[in-house]
């Protein structure tokens, strides 16, 4: 399978390499000046991490395996501190690198540790889940969680490269794969309607790594992300559109103590955002129904507990997209026409939540 190379522009351009069996490309992304590599990976991925470690050692790198907890549990200051200590104890210098292998939580953590170690060392990301390939690993946003919220501590630190080996998707549990589809579908609503058409054409196929449109869906979503972050690394304007569905989604994750999958929470958040767009007079009710229909067809949730609204609203007030006391929501003026809604009334927000309350 020929590899596809998708360029991400900006002050520090890099490539996202997509294809099957492309782990051999890793040394070319690291470069020949790196001598030591800290290999961050979940304890639950020993086989894939072992393959990456073998490829690195064969290319002549000294490798420090750095296993971390799986999922969001890894994104804590305690785990980050343990990794900083390991890098220090193993003499990792500014000319060395970190490689992050795993899902979005692992790539977020690896990027953050690389951004903060010696004020910034090279990082190459090897996402192994659909969510990480199409979203978390692309864009240079890194972060860890705090008790007050998700990704509130972080840094902008573009990777030297991203390697998406589609063969690793075979290891992703079906429910996790479907959850990753939420970010793909989000890309369709904010920028590329063809993504929505492909999912609607074959929703069953979209649910699996073997689907006939899988590679096209992945590459289309990566191109959406690459175009946006290449123009706006630090989320000062355009990049904010990538948060469509995330304001309520992140709040749901907090209420669930991160036990709900990110994509599932974002799916509910997209229905809420579509309803907010409709109730603000920007779009018709058909956008809300299309959102529900597409998400339901691939097996994603579209409703959440009605009694959770007070807690959700409190968490939304600490959202990182807010500016001071100004609340900001990404909404749609049409498919592929994202916009912002600033300081909506409490009545409008409550009415929009009725669209997902169950």
201 among the known binding-site residues? no
58 among the known binding-site residues? no
169 among the known binding-site residues? yes
141 among the known binding-site residues? yes
Residue 78 backbone phi and psi in degrees, to 5: -65, -45
Which of these is catalytic: 246, 254, 292, 315?
246
44 among the known binding-site residues? no
Full DSSP string of 32-81 = SS--EEEEEEETT-HHHHHHHHHHHHHTT-EEEEEEE-SGGGG-SHHHHH
Strand ranges, E, within the chain: 4-8, 14-19, 36-42, 62-68, 97-102, 122-127, 141-146, 149-156, 161-165, 328-334, 337-342
Which of these is catalytic: 41, 220, 223, 225?
225
- Quick check: is 225 catalytic? yes
Which of these is catalytic: 207, 250, 292, 315?
250
Which of these is catalytic: 119, 323, 346, 347?
119
C-alpha to C-alpha distance for 176 and 159, rounded to whole angstroms? 24
What is residue 354's three-state secondary structure? coil
- Quick check: is 250 catalytic? yes
Which of these is catalytic: 239, 261, 278, 292?
239
337 among the known binding-site residues? no
Which of these is catalytic: 15, 183, 219, 253?
183
- Quick check: is 239 catalytic? yes
Which of these is catalytic: 243, 253, 254, 292?
243
Which of these is catalytic: 262, 278, 292, 315?
262
104 among the known binding-site residues? yes
User: Number of helices and strands (H, E) in the chain?
Assistant: 14, 11
By the 10 Å C-beta count (0-12 exposed, 13-18 middle, 19+ buried), 1 is classed as exposed
Which of these is catalytic: 122, 141, 207, 315?
141
105 among the known binding-site residues? yes
291 among the known binding-site residues? no
Interior CA angle at 334 toward 333 and 336, to 5°? 110
- Quick check: is 141 catalytic? yes
129 among the known binding-site residues? yes
183 among the known binding-site residues? yes
72 among the known binding-site residues? yes
N- to C-terminal Cα separation, the chain: 45
- Quick check: is 262 catalytic? yes
C-alpha to C-alpha distance for 104 and 100, rounded to whole angstroms? 10
73 among the known binding-site residues? yes
- Quick check: is 57 catalytic? no
Which residues does the annotation place in the binding site for Zn(2+)? Answer: 183, 246, 262
Instruction: Please list the active-site residues.
Output: 119, 141, 183, 225, 235, 239, 243, 246, 250, 262
Which residues does the annotation place in the binding site for NAD(+)? Answer: 70-75, 104-108, 128-129, 141, 150, 168-171
Which residues does the annotation place in the binding site? Answer: 70-75, 104-108, 128-129, 141, 150, 168-171, 183, 246, 262
């Amino acid at each position: 399978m020929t590899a596809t190379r998708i360029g991400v522009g900006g002050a520090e351009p890099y490539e996202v390499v997509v294809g099957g069996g492309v782990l051999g490309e890793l040394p070319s992304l690291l470069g020949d000046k790196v001598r030591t590599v800290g290999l961050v990976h979940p304890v639950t991925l020993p086989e894939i991490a072992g393959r990456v470690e073998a490829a690195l050692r064969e290319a002549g790198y000294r490798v420090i395996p750095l296993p971390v907890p799986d999922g969001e549990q890894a994104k804590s200051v305690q785990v980050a501190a343990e990794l900083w200590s390991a890098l220090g104890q193993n003499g990792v210098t500014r000319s060395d690198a970190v490689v992050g292998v795993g899902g979005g939580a692992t790539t977020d953590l690896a990027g953050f540790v690389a951004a903060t170690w010696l004020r910034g060392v090279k990082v190459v990301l090897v996402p192994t889940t659909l969510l990480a390939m199409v979203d978390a690993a692309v864009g240079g946003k890194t972060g860890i969680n705090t008790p007050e919220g998700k990704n509130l501590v972080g840094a902008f630190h573009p990777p030297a490269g991203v390697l998406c080996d589609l063969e690793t998707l075979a290891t992703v549990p079906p429910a996790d794969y479907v959850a990753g589809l939420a970010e793909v579908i989000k890309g369709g609503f904010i920028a590329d309607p063809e993504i929505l058409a492909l999912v609607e054409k074959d929703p069953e196929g979209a649910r699996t790594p073997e689907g006939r449109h899988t590679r096209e869906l992945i590459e289309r979503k990566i191109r959406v992300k690459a175009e946006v972050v290449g123009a706006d690394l630090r989320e000062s304007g355009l990049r904010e559109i990538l948060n469509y569905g995330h304001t309520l989604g992140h709040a749901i994750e907090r209420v669930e103590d991160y036990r709900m999958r990110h994509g599932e929470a974002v799916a509910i958040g997209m229905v809420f955002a579509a309803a907010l767009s409709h109730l603000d007079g920007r779009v018709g009710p058909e956008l809300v129904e299309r959102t529900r229909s597409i998400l339901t067809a691939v097996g994603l949730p579209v409703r959440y507990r009605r009694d959770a609204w007070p807690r959700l609203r409190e968490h939304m007030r600490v959202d990182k997209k807010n500016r001071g006391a100004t609340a900001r929501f990404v909404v749609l003026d049409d498919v592929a026409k994202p916009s912002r809604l600033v300081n909506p009334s409490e009545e409008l927000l409550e009415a929009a939540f009725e669209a997902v309350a169950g």
